[in-house]
Structure 1
Amino acid sequence: MPHIKNALIRYRIIDKALGNTYNPYPSKLDLRHACEMELYGDTNGKHISDSTIEKDLFAMRQEMDAPIKYSKAHKGYYYDNPDFTINEKPLSEDDLTSIQFALSTLSQFKETEMFQNFGFALNKIIDRVNVDSDARKSDADIDQMIQFEKSTAAKGNEFLQPLLSAIQHQYIAYFMYESFVTQVKKQRKVTPLLLKEYNNRWYLICFDSVKEKVITYALDRISDLEIIEQVGEKPSDFKADLFFRHSIGITASAEARPEKIIFSAGNIAAKYINSQPFHESQKIVLDTLEHTKFELFALISEELIRELLSYGGDIIVQEPNSLKDELVKRIKQMKTNYNI
């Protein structure tokens, strides 16, 4: 069974490599290295041979109808149908068995410090696999009985591994970045410092050599990434574990200062807000029959403003005045938009 499990995992690693438009036409060596890195954390060739990759490619063609071709011009492999991916094929019993085996191993460690932040995600995966397995046994249409939250596929995830390596070695990274405001692409030269996920999207926190300060870039707007094996400049006062301590969302800055924020909410809304706090510093300072007053210490950010506005008239901000003024400004704009 371990042999079968590893083969199924290799198929998916190969599928990902063949579908990577940023590194097209991977060679047999490229595919071997990708599998070794994902499965064993190194590329020394002790675990996977070229013949293993050849057998995997043959099996994918035969068992999954994968349109894998070899390009003599580019000396690498590719999908004849660029839209093909094995991820669109239903999971087999062997796939589910492999996942259950991996999850049973991981679930034993989800309470440890290393995996505490991922306990909820692991539980969702375990629930989905168990439910799907039971549905297969009963021959039921599971989507008609239970629906899980779905997230859209995030672009830029293929940059996670090279950027993580750059952070570990403090190497310089070059990439093109497209602004949402101007829709113009410009080249950036940075020293990667930290990768952070927020709302199913990955961000790179880095020291920008041109702007000479720490900047956040969304991975889904990065293209033409190139890592240079040259040590870059890193701010001496940057601490990854402290950089977002006062942040709500992805907004953070070494120059910005957190403020005391006080707001009140109706008791129904307060229950939701108390169950899912805006920030770890949030606390209740007054609880009456009519409303609940909250206090927190954080940066005033776009993410916080949108959170507050999402509760509409159920929230009233008392402090600070700058936050109140910004909310009033946006509420007036909303009234204008609806001709009120």
Structure 2
Amino acid sequence: MSTNKHALIRYRVIDKCLRQVDKQWNWKTLAEACSHEIRKVTGHDTTLSERTIKGDLQNMRHDEALGYFAPIEYDRLEKSYYYSNRSYSITEAPLNRSDSNELKQAIGLLQQFTGFRHLEGIENIIQKLELLAYESTTQAKKIVHIEQAPVIPGQKWLDQLYESIKEEKTLMMTYKPFDREANTLIISPYLLKEYDNRWYLYAHNHERHQLRTYGLERITKLQPSLQEYIENASFDPDIYFNDIIGVTLEPGKKPSKIEFEVYDNTISYIRTKPLHHSQVEIEGNERMSRFVINVIPNFELESLFLSFGESVKVMKPKAFHNKLKKRIDLLQSEYKF
């Protein structure tokens, strides 16, 4: 465990000790209590000096980054430390406005389970949260497991792209599609989106004069460009993604009603986990239900329907039905021996 987390444990222990008003606490007794807890949590013996403990007390009193501002006083007669406000605890310390703003930004990133290193501004908030949670994370059994790719392809570009979007900086990008040679282009980056354990960049292509989507794993080089940044005049992510599943949207296409049948046990699955927010069940029984979603067909939607195998059948529109049938027929031919 890092020294930083040792400090979090010490703050927690010192706080717990000073709330015990029936005991006297000098630097030695505080050091012993902290060493005992560190040994309990980490399994390592630690000897804490007078300088360390007094430094911790000073930090808890005055460190603006920590934000505790603990009312710690020293009784010269008893030679002990105490809280002048007996109801005080660092676990009750509220987040200030600056913390709150940083936390909102951090939550937006953390909810997407990214590979960002761009979390420097919330370091002190994380310390506060760790302080409240460290006991449960050291000894408690694991209750929740979130499936996540350990390394998402292309995530090494996240920080540079994030900064360029934030600062509205134009980039020169070398991009290697899977089926073509690499080419270099100028882009004004607008948005990063994660989908199905892959990262995508939405950016204005200066040569094509249109919004384009780029997979980060296909980027081979990024560097600043001197060309003027083209501001995002019409791209609204909430509107853009409202009518699609996934990331692909062909310009000019409009939403259409996709009607599909679902069979047997998959019915409950589709009911409880809709394919799209527009999903409506129009008829059904225990063996078959019919649903409708209003979306723009794309490759991701095709793949989603095909992933259900024989449990889902697209009925309308006919053109989309036939497109899926063609892919199924091709798949069937591949499995003939």
TM range (shorter): 0.5 to 0.7
Structure 1 residue 7, shift from structure 2 partner:
9.6
For the 8 Å contact 1:176–1:222, the answer to whether it is kept is yes
CA distance in structure 2 between the aligned counterparts of 1:239 and 1:200, rounded to whole angstroms: 23
Identify the residue that residue 270 of structure 1 maps to in structure 2.
267
Identify the residue that residue 296 of structure 2 maps to in structure 1.
299
For the 8 Å contact 2:190–2:232, the answer to whether it is kept is no
Normalising by structure 2, report the TM-score: 0.59
The reply to whether residue 249 of structure 1 matches residue 249 of structure 2 is no
Deviations 1:16-53 (A, max 9, x none): xxxxxxxxxxxxxxxxxxxxxxxxxxxxxxxxxxxxxx
Q: Number of matched residues?
A: 236
CA distance in structure 2 between the aligned counterparts of 1:120 and 1:172, rounded to whole angstroms: 25
SS in 2 for 1:250: coil
SS in 1 for 2:275: coil
SS in 2 for 1:286: strand
Deviations 1:136-194 (A, max 9, x none): xxxxxx8xx99763414123223222212222332211111111122x21112111011
Quickly say closer, same or farther: Cα 1:292–1:331, change in 2 above 3 A: same
SS in 2 for 1:295: strand
User: Once structures 1 and 2 are overlaid, which stretch shifts more, 283-292 or 321-330?
Assistant: 283-292
Identify the residue that residue 174 of structure 2 maps to in structure 1.
176
The reply to whether residue 239 of structure 1 matches residue 236 of structure 2 is yes
SS in 2 for 1:231: coil
Identity %: 25
CA distance in structure 2 between the aligned counterparts of 1:290 and 1:318, rounded to whole angstroms: 17
CA distance in structure 2 between the aligned counterparts of 1:118 and 1:195, rounded to whole angstroms: 14
Structure 1 residue 303, shift from structure 2 partner:
1.0
Identify the residue that residue 163 of structure 1 maps to in structure 2.
161
For the 8 Å contact 1:170–1:231, the answer to whether it is kept is no
Quickly say closer, same or farther: Cα 1:121–1:275, change in 2 above 3 A: farther
Q: Where in structure 2 are there 5+ consecutive unaligned residues? A: 9-40, 45-89, 115-129
The reply to whether residue 133 of structure 1 matches residue 131 of structure 2 is no
Deviations 1:271-323 (A, max 9, x none): 11222221111121112232111111111111111111111111121111111
Cα RMSD for the two superposed structures: 4.1
* Structure 1 counterpart of 2:331, from 311, 330, 334: 334
SS in 2 for 1:237: coil
* Structure 2 counterpart of 1:217, from 214, 219, 222: 214
Identify the residue that residue 57 of structure 1 maps to in structure 2.
none
For the 8 Å contact 2:189–2:202, the answer to whether it is kept is yes
The residue type equivalent to 1:305 in the other structure is E
CA distance in structure 1 between the aligned counterparts of 2:6 and 2:317, rounded to whole angstroms: 56
Structure 1 residue 120, shift from structure 2 partner:
9.3
CA distance in structure 2 between the aligned counterparts of 1:132 and 1:200, rounded to whole angstroms: 29
Structure 1 residue 332, shift from structure 2 partner:
0.8
SS in 2 for 1:171: coil
Q: Where in structure 1 are there 5+ consecutive unaligned residues? A: 9-90, 95-100, 136-141
CA distance in structure 2 between the aligned counterparts of 1:275 and 1:229, rounded to whole angstroms: 50
SS in 1 for 2:152: coil
CA distance in structure 2 between the aligned counterparts of 1:256 and 1:117, rounded to whole angstroms: 31
Structure 1 residue 218, shift from structure 2 partner:
0.9
